[in-house]
Structures are given as structure tokens and as C-alpha cells.
Structure 1
Amino acid sequence: MSSLYAKLIDVIERQITPLAGAIGQQKYVTSIRDGFITALPFMIVGSFLLVFIFPPFSPDTTWGFARAWLQFSLDHRDALMLPFNFSMGVMTLFIAVGIAASLAKHHHLDSLTAGMLSLMSFLLVAAPLKDGQISTAYFSGQGIFTAILVAIYSTELYAFLKRHNITIRLPPEVPAGVARSFEILIPVLAIILTLHPLNLFIEAQLG
């Protein structure tokens, strides 16, 4: 038994551990990890807010403090839910931006630009209009997988265009900030022209 255990440990140390280490250093894995770390503070605060919004007491409690807390949370539920809705309730937006910003560093790209492109990509595919209003159904946990995909896609497309110098170049006299804005036009158009038709096709097929 001890010999079998020793062999198992040896296999883990020689084969599985190096493989796990290599996977852990893969750029997509580290970017996804960093994206979740970026969103973590908002998720933690949102979780604490839930405890305050929904007090951990039975409705039929006789303790005065607990009854006052319960009544306060009922009377002001909408106001109390607002911070939660804009922290935990939109955590997927933070994840999408965080993943793209981290992945952009691997490609030596501007993190802020990559984050904004990712945010636009996510809204394009996961925030459809319903009765003239944007649906937020996928802004919480439901849209995490979509956020991961669009963050990677938008950043890789941005990197591809940058690598092949597919951009709008302005004369040197133009201020750097204005020039950067025009450089991003091509990635923005490329994302819209690829993701939006694909999204419309999927919606038409799946309803």
C-alpha cells in the first residue's frame, strides 16, 4: 500500500504538477483569474449588503432590535437594493473589463482600451433591447461565460489588428490623445461588424 502511494505521489510530482503549473501560467487562464480578482471587491461588498438587506432573523421574532431591522429592510428595500444591483448585480461587467485588461498586458496593448472594447462587446451580445429598455439579465452570474468569451475575442482581435498595422494613422502634428482615439476606430468597427451579425443570427436561430 505504501509503495502504491509513493508511486502515485511520484506521478503527481513528475507529470501532473508541471502540467498544472504550465496551465496556470497560460495567458488566458491568468487573464480569467485576474478578471475575477478585479471583480472580487465588488462581489464581497455586494454579499455583505445582502446580509443587511435580508436580516438573519425569523419574521416572527420577538426581539425588538431584530423586528426593527426587519421592518426597516422592508420599508426601504428598493433603496437598499440599489448598491447591491450596482456591485454584485453587475459583476459580469467588471469581469469582462478585468479579463480584457489583463490579456492586453500580455500583448503589450493599452489595458484601458482593451477593457472598453470588451465592455462594448459584452453589451452588444448580452444586453438586448426589450420593450425599448436594455435587459440586465446577464449582468450578474448568468453572463460570466459570455463575458469570458467576448473579453478574449475582443482583445485578441484588437491585438491582431495592431500587430498587422491595420489602423488609422494621422499626421504627427495631431495630438497624441486624438490620434489614439482614431487608432481605436478600426477595432471598434471590426468588433461590431463581426459580433453583431453573429448575435443576430444566433437570436434568430434560438429565439
Structure 2
Amino acid sequence: MDKFMEIAAKVGSNKYMIAIRDGFASTMPLLMAGAVATMINNVFFVSWSLLAGIIGGENPAEHPFFIWAGQWVAPFFSAIDPGTLSLTAFAVALGIAYIRAKDEDVDPLSTVLITAGAFFILGPKTRVSEVASYIADYYGAMGILVGMLTGLIAPLIFIKIVKKGWIIKMPDMVPPAVGRAFAAIIPGFITLSAFALVPYLFSIGASTGFLAEGSASNIFALFEETMQAGLMRIFGGQSTDAFLPGLLGAVFFKMSQTILWFAGLHGPNLTAPVQSPIWGTFDTLNVQAFAQYGKDAVLYPWTGTSWVIYADLGGSGATLGLIIALKFFNKRPDAKEIANISLAPGIFEINEPIIFGIPIVLNPTYLIPFVISTPLLTAIGFILTWVGFAGRVVNSIPWTTPPILGAAMATNFNIGAIITSIICLAVSVVIYVPFVLLSNKEFEKQLAEQA
């Protein structure tokens, strides 16, 4: 355990991993604004909305309300997407760059502006392929890996040059804003020149015949056709042979989070640099696909939100199940008070009070249920979603949305998803009950020894 915690602590304190984690988190105001606008459309105003299914009849598109809403209301909410969800990759690049600049005490504005320029230099953002999907550019989720790398590499070059002192220094009487601008000229030029090599090499490769006809014409297409396509095929594929890799990937990823939490390390924060680019991308793609194609959209079976609505009920370790088990089966007065205090936060997916109050961290009594609960619930949610019982995620929701309600909102009030969330909550309680009873016996033994 000492060695494990030492390694995990080093990973968790790595400045680049922290920048990825916090950079993704910094985009939430932008992305949630787009997600809310899309969800309003999906629930009320488009012909494939929840409301359309209730009042629209056999052909909602011909219902007077949805004809009116499609002309006057839905376009308003749809207009928000290009400035929010469709800028995911660009926003991630800027967010990571800002975190790195703040961490290194370098001017954040200059760093962010240079990173923005580097992102645009890398090549065409619009697809020209005849088999392009509904997303027409790489500013959004499909460019997220390039955006993440740009947010790491551009500030790295810029900051190193600034710290070497290769800057234009202005006299003290010059206004600070002007001084910072001049100081960024040389580091910015070198950084942007380094990024300009990428499209230049693609161009030379195409003109000299080094790149085969039909191969990727820019770094965005290259990443999509290789890394991103591979990861999405492994963890989010639609074919039958992708079921097992997707299930195992989701289960073992979630288990890594609970093991980290048990060791006293914030599992979701440490693993966010992996989760956000893969399963977070699935969230964005599903939301945009459903917004454009409705019930005909091809959706990924498991997304980052899927864990929220099925596995992380009350937080990592499905600790809302533990709180409920404590409320009904616990005999320890200290645990009773902790359960009472933790109930309200737990309903909104915040579980630090129960994790550090019981405590669960390094507590062998609760090791087994805490580590296995969310992986097991992941498997239940994944399988029921894959077979079509539970509807797939089509709306992004805040991670603090209470269980069951979250499943309803994320899947456009799909009955199967709601039932699946209820099943998962019940299973989590069943998992914890034997260990609450074991804790009662340990408490009785302690009282007997004291007596």
C-alpha cells in the first residue's frame, strides 16, 4: 500500500496531469451552457423531443406546436451550439494553457493567445471527406486530443523561452500591458513557428508524394484516423465484437478510481485526464447527434454521464447505498450521526463526508464493498444499455444531479434508464448491508472488551 500510494501521489501531483484535469474542468461553464440549451430543445421544442412523444401523435413533425417551435424557438437554442459544444477542443486547449501559465507564474493572457494561434496554425478545421459524419469540424469533440496536446505543448515551449530570458524588456515607465505584450513577441514567434512546422510537413509530404493519396491531410485528421478512432472503436464501438472491450474498459477504469479513493487519493481527479478525452467525448458526440438527428441518431452506448447516472450514485463507491444501509441497519451511534450528516450531500453526489467520516479511506471493513460497488453497477448499466433496455445518454447533466432524476434527464426520460438507475441503487444498498452488519459486530466486540 505504501508503494502504491507513493506512485499514485506522484501521478496525482504531476503538473501536466493537473493541467489536463483542471483545464477540462475550466471548460464546464461553456459546455454546460451548450448542454442546457440542447437539453431544452430535446425535451420541449424539436419534433423528436420528450414532449413530442407525449402530445405529438404518430407524426410529431406535422403537429402545429412543433411546426411553430421548429420555426421560431428551436433555431434559437440550436444557435448556441456553435459557440459552446462545437468549441470543445479549442476551449480545452485554452483552459490547459491558462492553468499551465498560472502554475509557472507566466502571463496567462499571452500564453492563452499564443496557444490559440498555435491551434489555428495546425491545419484545416473543416472535414472534406465524403464519409464525414454530422460534425463538420475539429473545433469540437473530434479534435479534443489535438486540443489537449496543443494546450500542453504550446505553453511548454512558450514558458521555457520566457524563463530563459529571451524576451524584449521595456523600460519601467512603459504601461504593464504594453510591457507584457512586447515580452511575449519572441517566445510567441518561436512557439508559433514550431507549430507551423506541422502543416508545413503535411504540405511537403503531399506535394512530393511522400504521403499516399487519401491519407490524412492534417494533424487533426491523422489523430482522428489513428488514435482517436482506435480508442473510440475500443471503448465505444457499436459492433458486437466491441461489447466486451467496452465493458471491461469501463469496469476496470471505474475500479481504478475506487482503489485510489480507498488509498486516500481523489480517484476521479487523478483519472480525469483519461476519462474526459475518451468518455467525455462520447457525451458531446451523443448530445450533438441527438440534437441533429433525433431518434435516427447513432449513439455511443457508454459515456461519462453513464457513470454518473448508474455507477456513482452518491459519488465514487456508490456511497448513497452505504448511507441508506447505515440508516436502516447500523447500530453504531457515531456512524448514525455521520450518515445523517452525509445524506443531503450524498443525494447530490458529494461523498467526502461519508468517505472521511466513517472513514472508508484505509478502512478494511469497507474495502470490498467500496472497491467493487461501482464496477459492478457499471457492468449492470453497461449491459442494460447495450441490449437496449436502458436508453442511451442524449443530454449532458451536472454531475451533482440526484440519482434516478439524473438518469431521467440524461436519457430524455427513458423509462428503461430510470428503472436501471433504481436497480443500481438497490444493488448498492444490498452490497453494503453485510458490511454494515459486520461493522456492528466489531463495535459490539469493542464494547465488550472495554467492559
Q: Secondary structure at 1:58's aligned position in 2?
A: helix
CA contact (8 A) 1:90 1:140 kept: yes
Are 1:98 and 2:95 matched, yes or no? Answer: yes
1:52-83 Cα shifts (integer Å, max 9, x gaps): 223223398239xx956533442144433111
Moved more, 168-177 or 94-103: 168-177
Cα distance in 2 for partners of 1:32, 1:127 equals: 24
Match of residue 61 from structure 1:
56
Q: Which amino acid aligns with 1:93?
A: F
User: What stretches of structure 1 of length at least 5 have no aligned partner?
Assistant: 1-12
Matches within 5 A, 1:162-181: 162-181=162-181
CA contact (8 A) 1:53 1:80 kept: yes
Match of residue 184 from structure 2:
184
Q: Which amino acid aligns with 1:28?
A: Y
Question: Number of residue pairs matched?
Answer: 191
Are 1:51 and 2:39 matched, yes or no? Answer: yes
Cα distance 1:187–1:44, how it changes in 2: closer, same or farther (>3 A)?
A: same
Match of residue 38 from structure 1:
26
Q: Which amino acid aligns with 1:61?
A: G
Q: Which amino acid aligns with 1:185?
A: I
Cα distance 1:83–1:102, how it changes in 2: closer, same or farther (>3 A)?
A: same
Segments of 4+ moved more than 4 angstroms = 66-69, 126-131
Match of residue 325 from structure 2:
none
CA contact (8 A) 1:46 1:84 kept: yes
Cα distance in 2 for partners of 1:23, 1:138 equals: 30
Greater RCO (CA < 8 Å, at least 6 residues apart): 1
CA contact (8 A) 1:126 1:146 kept: no
Cα distance in 2 for partners of 1:149, 1:79 equals: 33
Match of residue 7 from structure 1:
none
Moved more, 23-32 or 43-52: 43-52
Match of residue 146 from structure 1:
146
Cα distance 1:122–1:72, how it changes in 2: closer, same or farther (>3 A)?
A: farther
1:184-204 Cα shifts (integer Å, max 9, x gaps): 111221122111122221353
Cα distance in 2 for partners of 1:136, 1:171 equals: 48
Match of residue 20 from structure 1:
8
CA contact (8 A) 2:127 2:136 kept: no
Cα distance 1:16–1:78, how it changes in 2: closer, same or farther (>3 A)?
A: same
Cα distance 1:185–1:40, how it changes in 2: closer, same or farther (>3 A)?
A: same
1:28-68 Cα shifts (integer Å, max 9, x gaps): 110011111111122222122112223223398239xx956
CA contact (8 A) 2:126 2:138 kept: no
Cα distance in 2 for partners of 1:59, 1:123 equals: 45
Are 1:121 and 2:109 matched, yes or no? Answer: no
Cα distance 1:58–1:94, how it changes in 2: closer, same or farther (>3 A)?
A: same
Cα distance 1:147–1:108, how it changes in 2: closer, same or farther (>3 A)?
A: same
Moved more, 167-176 or 54-63: 54-63
Match of residue 70 from structure 1:
66
CA contact (8 A) 2:107 2:180 kept: no
Are 1:80 and 2:68 matched, yes or no? Answer: no
- Alpha-carbon offset, residue 130 of structure 1: 8.7
Q: Secondary structure at 2:70's aligned position in 1?
A: helix
Q: Normalising to structure 1: TM-score of the pair?
A: 0.79
CA contact (8 A) 1:93 1:147 kept: yes
Cα distance 1:129–1:90, how it changes in 2: closer, same or farther (>3 A)?
A: closer
CA contact (8 A) 2:88 2:141 kept: yes
CA contact (8 A) 1:28 1:152 kept: yes
Cα distance in 2 for partners of 1:187, 1:94 equals: 22
Cα distance 1:130–1:48, how it changes in 2: closer, same or farther (>3 A)?
A: closer
